[in-house]
Amino acid sequence: MTAFLQVEGLQKYFPIGKNFLGRPTQVVKAVEDVSFATERGKTLGIVGESGCGKSTTARLLMDLSPPDQGRITIDGQAYGKGAGRKPITALRKRMQMVFQDSYASLNARLTIEESIAFGPKINGASDREASTKARDLLDRVGLDPDNFIRRYPHELSGGQRQRVNIARALAIDPEIVILDEAVSALDKSVQAQVLNLLADLKAEFDLTYLFISHDLNVVQYVSDDVIVMYLGQVVESGPAQAMYSTPAHPYTAALLSALPALHPKDRKTRAPLEGDPPNPISPPSGCRFHPRCPFAEPMCAETVPPLADIGGGRHVACHMRVPGSGYPEVRPIVTVAPSPTA
Amino acid sequence: MDNIVEVRDLCVTFKTSEGSVYAVSNVNLDLAEGKTLALLGESGSGKSVTMKSLMRLHPPHKTQITGSIHVAGRDVLALGNRELSDLRGKDIAMVFQEPMLAFDPVFKVGDQIAEVVMRHEGCSYEAGRDRALEMMECVHIPSPRKRLDAYPHEMSGGMRQRAMIALALACRPTVLLADEPTTALDATVQIQVLLLLRELQREFGMSMIFVTHDVGVAIEVADEIAVMYGGRIVEQGPVDQVMTDPWHPYTQGLLGATVYPNMDPATRLVSIPGAPPQLYRQITECAFAPRCPHATDECHQPLPPPTQTDQRMARCIRLPEVAGALPRASVLPQ
Ligand SMILES: Nc1ncnc2c1ncn2[C@@H]1O[C@H](COP(=O)(O)OP(=O)(O)OP(=O)(O)O)[C@@H](O)[C@H]1O
Ligand SMILES: Nc1ncnc2c1ncn2[C@@H]1O[C@H](COP(=O)(O)OP(=O)(O)O)[C@@H](O)[C@H]1O
Ligand code: SF4
Ligand code: SF4
Ligand SMILES: [Mg+2]
Ligand SMILES: [Mg+2]
């Protein structure tokens, strides 16, 4: 039994710098052995700090950049290089993406209608059909077609542009939509409108979302399952509510306890982690989190912790959680309380 | 006068090719010594313009400023150029979202801090460098002596933010203006910087105005909060009171639109329809009226003076009727 969307062993290294022979001097290990799965109609959240590989993962799935390795399966159909696989370009009809920068992702010289109708047209729709589709979708994302259809991107507000981007992503009837920081740049009042809209559209079109964000509260609110990335790797994955109430990986726990308080009496007195996330050019040996981890033991600097099954649909890459790993005192899941709740 | 900052009836208008932009209207602010005020509001609401006015950083020919601003007893709008550069850095300093704006990329960080100290205190280069080292230690930059000779681009994001704070605090200003200094930072680094600012404030006895659009960040740092909308302060008061019992419908909407930890995924967010106003005309009525669920005809008439109590202020004519009207307003722990 495979899941609806299954991603296995995704990898992407970016060579950077050049020596006198024109050979790269370093590589950025942007994404390394990333695997995850989700079922139809679910939302999978992807969290992690800036530079951890969230956007690169999304770009690999969308074939905006070719993966070094990896396998993507939708509904049992494999995509990528190799026998029995469809070319990864065929994925784009099933998967669409909405980016953070609503402005850069629309062509400034196309009207809103042209932007939305573009996808259906290259997929064989007539002008008339494509135009009807554009009007329907605009209406669906809450923009009056008569008022907006002939406007250009610069004549819209950020929230309106993001609605157009969503309409455009839905225009070729995808099954999966990747939302990469799609609400992050919006003001709170507008962000709420777009989050409500995304929930409605998901129910109406039976969509599956990959929701990428650095905002842990929003991810918890929208996601069924969550994966946490650190320096190009998945360090924890599992059902959202379980992960947020009892984070298994020390990094997940740190992220959650770094959230600002909700009441002045609960203000933080101590930062959960010191320092900045290190650089994916020369990631630390063993467990990549070990230089910042409050639970690190000597073995953590030497042995890479595999993503281990800890039951309940949860996986974690931490020696401390895996009996027999050699970690001195294997502990069950710590309850590091997230920010106090209402 | 106990207030270190007093702003009265501040209006800031920019002349542009498209006409006047009424960026800030009738703003009043009081900041008591040693306290922190958070300015909370959405993009374009006038937070940065208010802050820049306190230091007179607007382009003089294109900007019209009226009202009065007093910082540390000085009448800021009446100061000449010399007195102004004296004021900046010494009485009042500012940190930004983007630290690269504060540093010159071609000079060493330590030298830039030393330079500011030399200029304001007339001390030697050596004394300036000593102060720079002391400040780098204060903001917990690892291996501070080595980092004095680093260039800004050689530092990580969090470290640059700390270095900028060191620069701003080098002459021990009495007031620190912080304009979204943690917005571009990752969560684990943001909390480090917030804690650092709180610690330095205590240590130096500074007063602080902290601009943010993040309710949680405001709660972490502030004693008082002022909520801005369309260039005006629409609500102001002690942070715990405003956050647990918001009076103004906009504040209520903002809290209802915010996603909190452990929210039931089945709860719909309270969304405020529409978008913030354009500021191409002087808005004398309630700027929130086009989006307000409680708006009536009288809300489109010029606004009367705000409702004021000992500790709180809100600018809505339908008070107290609409205070606490939204169901989600009670989401925060009381
Ligand atoms: N084309 C490229 N060439 C070199 N390095 C790259 C390239 N694209 C991405 N990287 C690097 O790969 C790493 C992961 O980047 P990515 O943008 O995927 O992270 P992210 O988690 O989405 O970050 P953010 O939240 O800041 O957008 C980063 O260190 C980034 O600098
Ligand atoms: N130098 C300027 N010239 C013209 N308009 C400006 C200038 N600076 C700011 N504004 C306008 O003033 C309003 C408030 O801006 P600002 O205070 O920067 O908002 P924010 O709350 O996001 O910091 C906006 O409408 C902005 O476009
Ligand atoms: S493997 Fe070791 S260093 Fe890594 S997270 Fe677990 S305890 Fe910390
Ligand atoms: S004055 Fe009227 S429109 Fe403005 S916030 Fe109050 S009720 Fe709403
Ligand atoms: Mg990204
Ligand atoms: Mg600003």
Write down the pLDDT at residue B324: 67
How far from the centroid of its chain's Cα atoms is residue A41's Cα? 16
Question: A195 — contact with chain B (CB < 8 Å)?
Answer: yes
- Boundary (domain end) residue, out of A202, A229, A256: A229
CA–CA gap between residue A201 and residue A204 (Å, rounded): 5
Amino acid at A280: P
Q: Do A258 and B190 touch (CB under 8 A)?
A: yes
Binned at pLDDT 50, 70 and 90, residue A281 comes out as: confident
Residue A296 covered by a domain: yes
The residue among B192, B215, B229, B252 with the most chain A CBs within 10 A of its CB, best to mutate, is B192
Pair A92, A157 in one domain: yes
Residue that is last in its domain, among B127, B150, B172: B172
Averaged pLDDT for residues B88-98: 89
Last residue of a domain, one of B151, B172, B193: B172
Determine the pLDDT at residue B99: 83
Model pLDDT, residue A339: 44
Partners of residue B142 in chain A, C-beta under 8 Å: 275
Is A235 a domain residue? no
**Cβ-count burial of A20 within 10 angstroms (0-12 exposed, 13-18 middle, 19+ buried)?**
exposed
A18-27, B117-126, B220-229: segment of lowest average pLDDT: A18-27
List A309's β-bridge partners, or say none: A315
The verdict on residue A223 lying in a domain is yes
Both B194 and B225 in one domain: the answer is yes
**Cβ-defined contact of B188 to A273 (cutoff 8 Å):** yes
In this predicted structure, the answer to whether residue B151 has a pLDDT above a threshold of 90 is yes
Give distance in angstroms: CA of A14 to centre of ligand 1.
9
pLDDT at B334: 36
The reported pTM is: 0.86
Arithmetic mean of pLDDT, B160-188: 91
The boundaries of the domain holding residue B148 are: 100-172
Q: Dmax of chain B from CA atoms?
A: 67
Average pLDDT value for residue range B160-164: 91
- Among B262, B268, B278, B279, most A C-beta atoms within 10 A, so best to mutate, is B262
pLDDT at B330 (0 to 100): 39
* Whether residue B79 sits in one domain with residue B12: yes
Computed over every residue of chain A, the mean pLDDT equals: 90
What value does the CA radius of gyration of chain A take, rounded to a whole number of Å?
21
pLDDT score at A16: 83
The residue nearest atom 8 of ligand 1, judged by CA position, is A56
Residue A334 has pLDDT above 70, yes or no: no
ipTM for this prediction? 0.86
Which residue's CA lies nearest to atom 19 of ligand 2? B44
Specify the DSSP class assigned to residue B100.
Answer: G
DSSP code, position A284: P
Query: Whose alpha carbon is nearest atom 26 of ligand 2?
Result: B44
Q: What pLDDT score was predicted for residue B132? A: 96
- Assigned domain for A236 exists: no
Distance between CA atoms of residues B304 and A154, nearest Å? 36
What pLDDT was estimated at residue B325?
60
For B34-53, write each residue's pLDDT tens digit: 999 999 998 889 999 999 99
Give the separation between CA A138 and CA A113, rounded to whole angstroms: 9
Domain count, chain B: 2
- pLDDT bracket for residue A336 (50, 70, 90): very low
> Which of B143, B156, B259 best tests the A interface by mutation, with the highest count of A CBs <10 A?
B259
* pLDDT confidence of residue A1: 60
Q: Report the C-alpha gap between A334 and A337 in whole angstroms.
A: 9
Q: What is the pLDDT of residue A314?
A: 96
CATH number at residue B277: 3.40.50.300
Residue A13 lies in a domain: yes
Domain end marker among B127, B145, B172: B172
Residue A34's domain comprises 5-229
Number of domains chain A contains? 2
pLDDT of residue A341: 40
Measured in Å, residue B304 CA sits from the centre of ligand 5 at 46
Q: Kindly state the tokens that stand for A230.
A: 């650190």
In this structure, are A65 and A205 located in the same domain? yes
Same domain as B189, residue B44: yes
- Looking at beta carbons, which residues of chain B come within 8 Å of A160? 275
Task: Indicate whether A237 belongs to any domain.
Answer: no
Report whether B273 contacts B289 (CB < 8 A): no
B 5-44 residues with CB < 8 A to A = 42-43
**Looking at residue A92, what is its pLDDT?**
82
Q: What is the pLDDT of residue B278?
A: 86
Residues B265 and B302 in one domain: yes
Chain A contact for B245, CB < 8 A? no
Whether residue A228 contacts residue A235, with contact meaning beta carbons closer than 8 Å, is answered with yes
DSSP A86: B
Which residue in the block uniquely carries the two structure tokens 């370009």?
A: A89
Query: In percent, how much of chain B has pLDDT > 90?
Result: 72
Q: Report how far apart, in Å, the C-alpha atoms of B85 and of each of A59, A159, B4, B76, B119 are.
A: 48, 40, 18, 11, 10
Residues in chain B within 8 Å Cβ distance of A259:
187, 216, 261
Sheet holding A233-239, edge to edge: A95-98, A176-180, A208-212, A43-47, A225-230, A233-239, A314-316, A308-311
- Over residues A127-151, mean pLDDT: 92
Separation between Cα atoms, residue B24 and residue B282, nearest integer Å:
10
Instruction: Name the band, by pLDDT with cuts 50, 70 and 90, for residue B9.
Output: very high
Residue type, A217: N
A213 pocket-lining for ligand 1 (C-beta < 6 Å): no
- Measure Cα distances from A225 to A200, A212, A232, A335 in Å: 19, 12, 19, 19
Q: Does residue B44's CB lie within 6 angstroms of at least one atom of ligand 2?
A: yes
Residue B246, preceding peptide bond in cis (omega within 30° of 0): no
**With left for phi above 0 and alpha for psi between -120 and 50, is residue B209 left, alpha or beta?**
beta
What is the dihedral angle through the alpha carbons of A290, A292, A295, A299, rounded to the nearest 10 degrees? 20
* pLDDT value of position A100: 82
Please indicate, yes or no, whether residues A207 and A253 belong to a single structural domain of this protein: no
* The pLDDT of residue B242 is above 80: yes
**Tens digit of each residue's pLDDT (9 = 90 or more) over B270-327:** 888 888 888 999 999 999 999 999 999 999 999 999 999 999 999 999 998 888 665 4
Query: Across the interface, which of A189, A220, A272 has its CB nearest the CB of B254?
Result: A189
Count CA atoms within 13 Å of residue B118 on its CB side. 13
Q: Any CB–CB contact under 8 A between A203 and chain B? A: no
pLDDT of A222 > 50? The answer is yes
User: Is A30 touching ligand 1 by the criterion CB < 6 Å?
Assistant: yes
Nearest to A7 by CA among A242, A307, A319, A220: A307
Please indicate, yes or no, whether residues B126 and B236 belong to a single structural domain of this protein: no
pLDDT of residue B96: 86
Encode pLDDT of A285-319 as tens digits: 999 999 999 999 999 999 999 999 999 999 999 99
